[in-house]
Amino acid sequence: MKTRILSAIILIALFVPLLLIGGEIFAIFMGIVSVCALHEIIAIRESKGEFPFMMKVLAYLLVLFFTMFRFDSIYFIYNVDYRVITFIIFAFLIPIVFIHDNNKYNIQDALFLIGSTLFLGMSFNLLIITRNYELMYVVYLLLITTITDTFALITGSLIGKTPLAKSISPKKTVEGFIGGVLFSVVVATTFYHQVINPQLSLALLVLITIVLSIIGQIGDLVFSAVKRYYGKKDFSNLIPGHGGVLDRADSLIFVVLAFVLFLNII
């Protein structure tokens, strides 16, 4: 527990100043985080067979490029150039022909790298853009994920009896799920209404926060399913007491992606 608390303090001390500074420094930090996240998901996948070294290097370079693509932008629409996506797809598919050995590199490997690179690159790129657009939006999203995770754990440990997804995450309960959503709505909605936009319909804001909290918990379960499939407890031991980057950012990744869907009405 002491290790977990100390790691959390160090993470907060590192992340908060960079978030407040924003700009290029925050973008570079997110680029590093995206590479670490991709390394974790590649490492867990390689328990079933290694990727060619050069394909991994290419993946790291591309996820870094995608994450930092137009890192100074504040626009969510048309921010990703289709040429970037096309290049990423070709970069992983074309080598299949030249390697010409399914035991070394095949279509499943290529699709895994394409999906992982696009998924993580887009997620962290959106986090950068959200920070550029409005710092308080990022705080709102962090409140949703943090409060949801914290009170889902507390509520579940106190009154949790009904398994939520036993085959994926045995300790998670329906009661914890509901408790996380309720506390998240109270805290995050109050923050948004008081700090960001008091003119927004409170009913609409509550609804959006509920949806984002639920999606955050679903994201947690999705990444838990990945770990369960590969027989791993954590994605890595990069953060003592917490696991890896993806163990900490799983909910946030999904919440950031979902938040974009509500930008026109929030």
Per-residue pLDDT at 1? 64
Closest alpha carbon to 145 in 166, 170, 123, 125: 123
Is 29's pLDDT higher than 60?
yes
- Minimum mean pLDDT among 71-85, 170-184, 230-244: which range? 71-85
Nearest to 245 by CA among 42, 20, 50, 49: 42
User: Looking at residue 79, what is its pLDDT?
Assistant: 59
Q: pLDDT band at residue 83, thresholds of 50, 70 and 90? A: confident
pLDDT in tens, 187-236: 999 999 999 999 999 999 999 999 999 999 999 999 999 999 998 888 98
Mean pLDDT, the chain, rounded, equals 91
* Among candidate residues 179, 255, 178, 260, the one with its CA nearest the CA of residue 223: 255
Q: Which of 113, 196, 116, 107 is nearest to 205 (CA)?
A: 196
* Joined tokens for residue 117: 């690179």
Closest by alpha carbon to 251, among 91, 93, 98, 143? Answer: 143
What's the count of helices (H) and strands (E) in the chain, helices before strands?
A: 10, 2
CB neighbour list of residue 243: distance below 8 Å, 6 or more residues apart: 233, 234, 235, 236, 237
Q: How confident is the model at residue 77 (pLDDT cuts 50, 70, 90)?
A: low
Q: How far apart are CA 85 and CA 73, in angstroms?
A: 18
Per-residue pLDDT reduced to its tens digit, 173-190? 999 999 999 999 999 999
pLDDT of residue 171: 86
Report the DSSP beta bridge partners of residue 165: 169
Q: How far is CA 240 from CA 65, 113, 138, 251, in A?
A: 28, 27, 25, 19
Within 13 Å, how many C-alpha atoms sit on residue 58's CB side? 17
Which pLDDT value is given to residue 124? 96
pLDDT in tens, 93-149: 999 999 888 889 999 999 999 999 999 999 999 999 999 999 999 999 999 999 999
Closest by CA to 141, choosing from 41, 261, 38, is 261
Q: How confident is the model at residue 12 (pLDDT cuts 50, 70, 90)?
A: confident
Q: Band the pLDDT of 76: cuts 50, 70, 90.
A: low
* Secondary-structure breakdown of the chain: helix, strand, coil percentages, each rounded to the nearest 5: 75, 5, 20
Where does the pLDDT of residue 4 fall: very low under 50, low under 70, confident under 90, or very high at 90 and above? Answer: confident
Q: Which pLDDT band, with edges at 50, 70 and 90, does 9 fall under? A: confident
Q: What percent of the chain has pLDDT over 90?
A: 70
pLDDT of 241 > 80? The answer is no
